[in-house]
Amino acid sequence: MTLLFDIALEKRLNLSDEMLTVDVSADDTLLIRNSADGAVMKIKFSTIVAALSSAFDDIVVDTINKVTITQPATGATLTIPNGTTLNTGTGGTLGSAAFTAAAAYADAPTIVDWTPTDVSGGSLTFGGSTEAIYFKIGRLVFVSGRIEYPVTADTHNAAFSLPFAVGSSAVGKFNAQGVIVTGGTAIKMQGGYNSASAFLYASGNTNAKNAGQSGQLVDFSMCYIGP
């Protein structure tokens, strides 16, 4: 099939609103006539396609504000035009921004078992029902567990260890606080600023004493920001 395309057509088409559509194959020939001098050039459609493909290959994007990359399938790799190859579990550098693929693709934080200990100064040994877990995302730490207090008349302020230190007062004061106690005097807990310790408080925001938790189970949870 031979088609005739008049360059002057572009003067009669608003290309932003209209489109001239013609079904052609790679072997079809187009006759392009320059209306200025009447000259006619014969060219195959496949040649035009090759020229356009080459032009698009040469396009370079100088600035990208945001890029979303979908994680490749297990064992697959993703290659950036500068030659950097990424695969599951490894990192790479794109421009001046370094990133870790494993962290970006993590589905959930790892939950870790941990055993709180007494840091009140009363040298208490918590009972066998004491257990806890935590997980950490960046500086954010979530802890939850249970402490079995021994029978004691100790008057030190009740406190136990945390898996990571709490941040400074500038960020620590926003920590979530909460404690559920069976029969004890403590009603809430708070992490000590710049300290890996949690302190128990009784009604009236006064320090709860070890004796007030004697023989009791303290169930707790807290979310806080580390240093």
Of residues 44 and 58, more confidently modeled = 44
Statement: residue 65 has pLDDT above 60: no
149 vs 211: CA distance, rounded Å? 9
pLDDT digits (tens, 9 = 90+) for 176-221: 577 777 778 888 888 888 889 999 999 888 999 999 999 999 999 8
What is the pLDDT at residue 206?
A: 93
Domain(s) labelled CATH 2.60.40 in the chain stretch across 112-225
Helices (H) and strands (E) in the chain — how many of each? 3, 16
End-to-end CA distance of the chain: 74
Average pLDDT, the chain: 74
Averaged pLDDT for residues 39-47: 73
Statement: residue 13 has pLDDT above 70: no
**Which helix (H) or strand (E) segment is 104 a member of?**
helix 101-104
Nearest to 31 by CA among 1, 4, 49: 4
Chain mean position to CA 7:
53
What is the pLDDT at residue 104?
A: 47
Statement: residue 81 has pLDDT above 60: no
Give the count of beta carbons closer than 10 Å to the beta carbon of residue 14: 7
Give the count of beta carbons closer than 10 Å to the beta carbon of residue 197: 17
What is the pLDDT at residue 37?
A: 73
CB burial string 94-128: b at 16+ within 10 A, e below? eeeeeeebeeeeeeeeeeeebebebbbebebebee
Q: Which amino acid is at 59?
A: I
Determine the CATH number of domain 112-225: 2.60.40
What is the pLDDT at residue 162?
A: 95
24 vs 33: CA distance, rounded Å? 18
pLDDT digits (tens, 9 = 90+) for 139-178: 889 999 999 999 999 999 999 999 999 888 766 655 657 7
